[in-house]
Amino acid sequence: MRVILGVGAGIAAYKSCELLRLLTESGHQVRVVPTPDALRFVGEATWAALSGEPAPSGIWADVHDVPHVRLGQTADLVFVAPATADLMARAATGQSGDLLTAVLLTARCPVVFAPAMHTEMWEHPATQANVSTLRSRGAVVLEPASGRLTGADSGPGRLPDPAELFAVALRVLARGAEGLGLDLSGRRVLVSAGGTREELDPVRFLGNWSSGRQGYALARAAAARGAKVTLVAANVSLDDPAGAQVVRVVSARDLRDAVLSAAAESDAVVMAAAVADYRPETRSDSKIKKAGSDPEPLRLVQNPDILRELSGHRARPGQVIVGFGAETGDVLANGRAKLAAKGCDLLVVNRVGAGLAFGTSDNEAVILGADGTETRVPRGPKEALADVVWDLVAGRLP
């Protein structure tokens, strides 16, 4: 695949060297197109050496090849990282004063912007208007990560980790190769991931084996299809997916509060988190010590049924609700009963235990629809299951 890696004039440009390495080592032909000021951060010689291709920033180099037109026409993906506020403003208004903005005007392939700037610049109404304009034209504009910025500042505006940007690039390239569009562009989606923990005392908790990998795959896939993604993560130790706003929670009640808040603005909700059905009736403020006799029986109380609550009180007309059912025994029978009880539109049912599903990189499932449909997804990467889920969601959105 032919990839144009656009580089804006931000300090985060150094991270794009790693993104370039990941793209080239995976077999893609990458041409780096920096803006003139981007070369103040990382020089042309570095880009040329890492890519094996020239990396001019102006439109007057190799004029006989008409690069300001040909590069965009022949690319399979244009990925801009970092995308500064200035660069996105020029792209949104159709300027073409350098090679990169000219390429953005001629590109007929998917275009992805990975913004990086200070929080105040990202949140400014002018930047948000430019982001909306670019998204309305079919570009994928990822949400920036939150964290340490230049100097002592911290907040939204950080460039996501190169490995996560690479994952987005691969998903966009795969869909482009299959002739599939950005069918979630302009949509807001909510994904939950991980496993909740219910504290017994400051040391111990009731929990489960969910790693959050499937939920994170769903978040990545949605971002690569153009969605604005909120990810509610319960006790997950994974890198934040590029393009997702991550909300961290611990318990089932924490997760319920975060999900209900985000669901109010979401077109689709995918509840991939493994939520504890029960919690201890009381939590000890101090560590429970071992005594000479058997401990008192542990009394449990029910947690809120978040999936049924979401399905029964939809926050928006036409909102699509997807649940997950981790089952043993008669998986299909259990799944059909759960689908009827929860009232969701789709239920992803998979077998767990004995090394299946939890903590693995692969999964297999049957996706049951409230309309009686059954979609079988054979064992494969969790990203493949994520794409099938979003295919079914996209077909049900109004």
Between strands 205-206 and 198-199, the pairing is antiparallel
Cα separation, 178 vs 155, whole angstroms: 37
Q: Which one-letter DSSP state was computed for residue 358?
A: T
Terminus-to-terminus CA distance in the chain, angstroms? Answer: 34
- CA proximity to 170, closest of 22, 21, 381: 22
Mean pLDDT of 81-90: 98
Burial of 284 (0-12, 13-18, 19+ CB in 10 A): middle
Q: Which of 130, 208, 235, 303 is catalytic?
A: 208
Name the 3-class secondary structure at 148. strand
What's the pLDDT tens digit per position in 305-315?
999 999 999 98
Cα separation, 236 vs 358, whole angstroms: 12
> Is 130 labeled as catalytic in the residue annotation?
no
Q: Answer whether residue 143 shows pLDDT above 90.
A: yes
Residues in the chain, how many?
Answer: 398
Name the 3-class secondary structure at 369. strand
Mean pLDDT of 324-332: 85
Q: Say what the pLDDT of residue 64 is.
A: 47
Residue 162, CA distances (Å) to 17, 112, 345 in order: 9, 14, 35
Q: Answer whether residue 387 shows pLDDT above 70.
A: yes
For the chain, domains (ranges, CATH) are 2-177 (3.40.50.1950), 188-287+294-394 (3.40.50.10300)
